[in-house]
C-alpha cells in the first residue's frame, strides 16, 4: 500500500499473507491510509500479487532498547555506534541530511566510507518490500510487544523490515527515524548488533524522518535492489528480547 496527499508521502505498508486474509489486510491498510497522523491520503494504491517463488525464512534480529534520555544523547550515541561499525563521519553527515530533509518514499543507500548516495533515483530511494511473518510467530511477537509496552504494529513492521534489510549482503547497518510526527523512537539495526531501539531520536511533532541503509564501498546495486524489492522473506522465528541496555554497555561491546 502506498498513500499520498497532494503528492506528499503519507504512508506505506507491505506484507505477505495467505489468500484468506487478503480482505482483512487490504481493509486494515486502507484504514491506515485514511486515518494517518501525517494526514488523510487523497490517493491510495493497493497492489496485490501472488508470490513468485518460495520465500526465504528468517529469524528476527535480537531486540533491545537503549537507555537514552534525550535527543542530544540519542544522536551522540548514534554517531559513536555507527563509527564503531565502520561508518565514516562523512557518511553519517549525509545520513543526517537525508533524515532531516524527510520526504523520501524509500530508503537512501549510502556508502559507509565515502558517504556517496547510490540509489537509482534519489527521490524514490530503495523500498524493502515482499516480507511477512508466519501467523504463529506473529501471535508470539504480538504478545511480547504488548507485554513490553511497545507499539504492536509499528514495532512489528519495523522489526520485520530491519531483519530483511540486515540480511542483505552489502548492507552494514540501517538507521531509521519514523516520519510519524509523534513516534519518537527510532533504531539502528545490523547483523552484528541486532535491533537497537533508540528513544528520543527526534522531538515530538516533527514530520521529517527516513531510513538510510549504509552499504559497503563498491556495492552491487542491482543485486541490492533485486534482494530488497524482489526476494520474498518470511519471518518464521523470533530472536531474543533483551529489555533495556545502557548506551555504555552497547558501545563497549563494539568498541
Ligand atoms: C515507522 O514509522 O515505520 C518506523 C518505526 C520505527 C520503530 C522503532 C521502534 O519503536 O522499535
Ligand atoms: Mg510511517
Q: What is the pLDDT of residues 44-63, one digit of tens each?
A: 999 999 998 899 999 999 99
Q: Which residue lies with its CA nearest to atom 9 of ligand 1?
A: 155
Residues 16 and 112 in one domain: no
Residues 36 and 133 in one domain: no
Residues 36 and 75 in one domain: no
Q: Pick from 32, 158, 206, 239 the residue to mutate for probing ligand 1's pocket: most ligand atoms within 8 Å of its CB.
A: 158
Expressed in angstroms, the distance from the first to the final Cα of the chain is 40
Q: What is the mean pLDDT of residues 191-195?
A: 97
Residue range(s) defining the domain that contains residue 20 = 2-45
What separation in Å is there between the alpha carbon of 1 and the centre of ligand 2? 12
The answer to the question of residue 136 being in a domain is: yes
How confident is residue 105, by pLDDT bands cut at 50, 70 and 90?
Answer: confident
Q: Which residue lies with its CA nearest to atom 1 of ligand 1?
A: 178
The answer to the question of residue 9 being in a domain is: yes
- Residues at CB less than 6 angstroms from ligand 1: 154-155, 158, 176, 178, 180, 183, 185-187, 197
What separation in Å is there between the alpha carbon of 248 and the centre of ligand 1? 23
Nearest-atom index, ligand 1, CA of 65 = 11
What separation in Å is there between the alpha carbon of 176 and the centre of ligand 1? 7
Structural domain count, the chain: 2
Residues 208 and 229 in one domain: yes
What separation in Å is there between the alpha carbon of 104 and the centre of ligand 2? 11
d(CA 81, CA 255): 8
Please give the model's pTM, rounded to 2 decimal places.
0.96
Q: What is the mean pLDDT of residues 89-106?
A: 94
Q: Which helix (H) or strand (E) holds 4?
A: strand 2-5
Long-range contacts of 141-144, Cβ-Cβ distance < 8 Å, separation of 24 or more: 141/60, 141/238, 144/238, 144/241
Q: Which residue lies with its CA nearest to atom 5 of ligand 1?
A: 178
How confident is residue 104, by pLDDT bands cut at 50, 70 and 90?
Answer: confident
The answer to the question of residue 34 being in a domain is: yes
What separation in Å is there between the alpha carbon of 217 and the centre of ligand 2? 29
**pLDDT surpassing 90 at residue 20:** yes
Q: Which residue lies with its CA nearest to atom 11 of ligand 1?
A: 155
Three cell numbers written together for 120: 537509482
What are the pLDDT digits (tens) for 22-47?
Answer: 999 999 999 999 999 899 999 999 99
Residues 103 and 74 in one domain: yes
Residues 84 and 144 in one domain: yes
What are the pLDDT digits (tens) for 140-185?
Answer: 999 999 999 999 999 999 999 999 999 999 999 999 999 999 999 9
Position 103 scores a pLDDT of: 82
C-alpha pair distances (Å), 24 with each of 36, 46, 133: 18, 13, 16
What residues contact 27, with CB distance under 8 A and at least 6 apart? none
DSSP classification of residue 56: E
Q: How far is CA 228 from the centre of its chain?
A: 12
Amino acid at each position: 500500500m502506498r498513500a499520498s496527499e497532494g503528492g506528499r508521502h503519507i504512508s506505506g505498508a507491505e506484507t505477505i499473507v495467505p489468500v484468506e486474509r487478503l480482505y482483512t489486510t487490504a481493509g486494515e491498510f486502507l484504514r491506515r491510509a485514511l486515518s494517518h497522523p501525517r494526514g488523510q491520503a487523497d490517493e491510495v494504491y493497493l497492489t496485490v500479487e501472488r508470490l513468485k517463488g518460495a520465500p526465504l525464512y528468517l529469524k528476527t534480529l535480537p531486540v533491545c532498547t537503549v537507555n537514552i534520555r534525550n535527543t542530544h544523547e540519542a544522536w551522540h550515541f548514534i554517531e559513536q555506534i555507527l563509527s564503531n561499525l565502520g561508518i565514516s563521519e562523512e557518511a553519517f553527515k549525509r545520513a543526517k541530511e537525508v533524515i532531516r530533509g524527510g520526504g523520501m518514499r524509500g530508503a537512501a543507500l549510502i556508502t559507509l566510507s565515502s558517504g556517496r548516495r547510490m540509489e537509482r533515483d534519489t527521490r524514490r530511494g530503495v523500498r524493502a518490500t515482499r516480507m511477512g511473518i508466519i501467523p504463529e510467530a506473529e501471535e508470539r511477537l504480538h504478545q511480547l510487544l504488548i507485554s513490553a509496552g511497545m507499539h504492536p504494529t509499528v514495532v512489528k513492521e519495523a522489526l520485520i523490515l530491519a531483519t530483511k534489510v540486515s540480511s542483505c549482503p552489502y548492507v552494514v547497518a540501517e538507521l531509521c527515524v519514523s516520519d510519524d510526527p509523534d513516534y519518537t523512537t527510532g533504531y539502528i539495526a545490523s547483523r552484528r548488533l541486532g535491533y537497537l531501539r533508540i528513544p528520543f531520536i527526534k522531538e515530538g511533532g516533527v514530520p521529517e524522518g527516513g531510513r538510510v541503509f549504509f552499504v559497503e564501498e563498491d556495492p552491487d546495486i542491482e543485486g541490492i535492489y533485486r534482494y530488497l524489492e524482489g526476494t520474498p522473506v518470511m519471518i518464521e522465528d523470533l530472536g531474543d528480547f533483551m529489555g533495556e541496555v545502557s548506551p555504555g554497555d552497547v558501545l563497549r561491546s563494539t568498541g
